[in-house]
Amino acid sequence: HKLFIGDQVLRINAESEEHIQLLKELEDDEGWELDFWTHPASTDLPVDIHVPFASLHAVKNFLQAHKIPFHVMINNLQELLDEEQEGVELNAMQERN
Amino acid sequence: ARSFNFGAYHTLDTIYSWMDTLVAAHPNLVSKVQIGTSYENRPMYALKFSTGGNKRPAIWIDAGIHAREWVSTASAVWMADKMATDYGVDPSVTSLLGQMDVYLSIVTNPDGYVYTHTSDRMWRKTRSVNTGSVCRGVDPNRNWDAGFGGPGASKNPCSDSYHGPHAHSEIEVKNVVDLVQSHGNFKAFISVHAYSQLLMYPYGYSCTSVPHQAELDSVGRSAVQALSSLYGTSYKVGSICKIIYQASGGSIDWSYDIGIKYSFAFELRDTGRYGFLLPANQIIPTASETWLGLKHIMEYVRDHPY
């Protein structure tokens, strides 16, 4: 099973068209292996990006350098996935019983 | 059937097995229709809710076309049960199913769904092999014959929004297309996604308004009002292009363009904390509110034949 230890999901609230354009550049950059859960389109909707642990520092620096506001929506993706998996397994066991 | 926990996420096998219990519990209302098989040869089913007749006006609902959107599938399970148990009890559902059939595809991307359970929880696409690429899968919501290959879809097989080699290249998409076209009497086509809290109508491939924009907008707003009445969840309503971004090859653009006027797509809830990982304890609240919105659309379709 693919692991996501230390990966974070950042919620970004773009405030201008310039921010949107910068986020689109980020989206085109395949080097950081970002997974855009929601895409940059307008300032009305937040942009959520799943950032692998290895790219976290660089991505946060990029956002801060361009004064793009963001917060951490999911602090450690794997923790949430572990909880979810535990729930699936526990429920399956209860149903078997 | 009584032991099934609707407030939990389940594997494909469990969902398929539960479908059989639902059919067994409501044999005169619900049947399981195999609409084809997936790329990896898994059966694809739609639950057909019908009180008789052949090819009556029908409503199509699909969930889980994007594999990682688990709450979409989990909500569809709850709504299937709700529709079956409310028939004969809720006059609105009884009247709806007295006049129309409802087809509900709970797991529209079974290979992807299994893959999210076994290998990569974040998987979105189908699992088809892309010739000449190490990357697998096509975004099944960029693969429909509606502005195929246009803006908002990627030609890169490694992208999560890869449109595929040609329209309807994905067997999962083709199976739905074939069912809808061979039936010929669908009056509504509703796709259920997660998350973002949106109710959308065509177009996604173009930012021009559809001819029925005013009506679809009005129906959408009333549906969202019904949805929000339960927990106050806020939704935005609008065309895909105008409230998210331009995206070509989407399912509801295809359905609208073949003449199914009432084409909508839901993006179910997340309140900005979990994204695709909505905790299981929010499945039933999500499904319950969605059901109200969905029911409003279905009632409108029933009352406005065309």
In this structure, what are the phi and psi dihedrals at residue A69, rounded to the nearest 5 degrees?
Answer: -70, 140
Give B196's contacts in chain A (Cβ within 8 Å): 38, 45
Q: At what angle do helices B70-86 and B12-25 cross, to 10 degrees?
A: 10
Active site residue B267: yes
- Smallest CA-to-CA distance from B237 within B223, B226, B248 is with B223
Q: How far is CA B234 from CA A53, A85, B120, B196, B268, in A?
A: 32, 29, 30, 10, 11
The string of pLDDT tens digits covering residues A13-70 is 999 999 999 999 999 888 899 999 999 988 988 999 999 999 999 999 999 999 999 9
DSSP B269-300: ---SS-TT---GGGHHHHHHHHHHHHHHHHHH
The DSSP symbol for B129 reads B
pLDDT of B1 higher than 60? no
Say yes or no for a CB contact (<8 Å) between A2 and B9.
no
pLDDT at residue number B103: 98
Give A83's contacts in chain B (Cβ within 8 Å): 279
The string of pLDDT tens digits covering residues B106-151 is 999 999 999 999 999 999 999 999 999 999 999 999 999 999 999 9
- Which chain B residue is nearest to residue A96, measuring alpha carbons? B3
Residue count of chain A, please give it. Answer: 97
Mean pLDDT of the region B46-62:
95
Calculate the dihedral angle through the C-alpha atoms of B240, B245, B249, B253, rounding to the nearest 10 degrees: 20
pLDDT at residue number B154: 95
The alpha-carbon gap from A74 to the nearest alpha carbon of chain B, in Å, equals 7
- Which chain A residue is nearest to residue B120, measuring alpha carbons? A2
Say yes or no for a CB contact (<8 Å) between A91 and B5.
yes
Minimum-distance CB partner of A87 among B8, B245, B273? B8
The string of pLDDT tens digits covering residues A80-92 is 999 999 999 999 8
E strand spans, chain B: 30-37, 43-49, 58-63, 101-105, 186-194, 198-201, 236-239, 262-268
Q: Is the ipTM of this complex over 0.85?
A: yes
Provide the pLDDT confidence category of residue B3 given band limits of 50, 70 and 90.
confident
The string of pLDDT tens digits covering residues B81-98 is 999 999 999 999 999 999
Chain position carrying tokens 């049947």: B31
- Smallest CA-to-CA distance from B263 within B192, B181, B197 is with B192
